[in-house]
Amino acid sequence: MDKLEQKLTQKVAESCVKAKLECGLDTAFVEKQLEQKGAAFMLKNLSKKGMVSPLFDQLKDKNRLDLSPEAIASKGEYAELFTDSEADWFLQILCEAGYF
């Protein structure tokens, strides 16, 4: 895993801690995915399947999509980790959820 992938994984892990503490969510599955494969791998696989991360809907319900892996990955600093179609997927689902 290169440094940018590590940085993304660390940011998503930090958001899991906040989601757990501030929103009371169970983040164990996402944390396990991060440990095993990293955030970029997890998000790429989800986008290929047209799926959102396990925390997405729960974070939407709590008005905390800023903590979602998709919102973090959509930041420009991580653009080189994802294809245009993957990045478009993150933006599409975030827009549909009213994030922007």
- pLDDT for position 60: 97
The pLDDT value given to residue 97: 97
* Position 100 confidence tier, pLDDT thresholds 50, 70, 90: confident
Over range 84-91, report the average pLDDT: 95
Other residues' Cβ atoms within 10 Å of the Cβ of residue 22:
11
Instruction: Name the band, by pLDDT with cuts 50, 70 and 90, for residue 39.
Output: very high
Counts for the chain of helices (H) and strands (E), in that order: 6, 0
Q: Is the pLDDT of residue 1 over 80?
A: no
Task: Please check the confidence at residue 73 and state whether its pLDDT lies above 90.
Answer: yes
First-residue to last-residue Cα distance in the chain: 30
Whether 68 has a pLDDT exceeding 90, the answer reads yes
Question: What average pLDDT does this structure show over 25-34?
Answer: 96
Average pLDDT of the chain, as a whole number: 96
- Nearest alpha-carbon partner for 49 in 80, 93, 8: 93
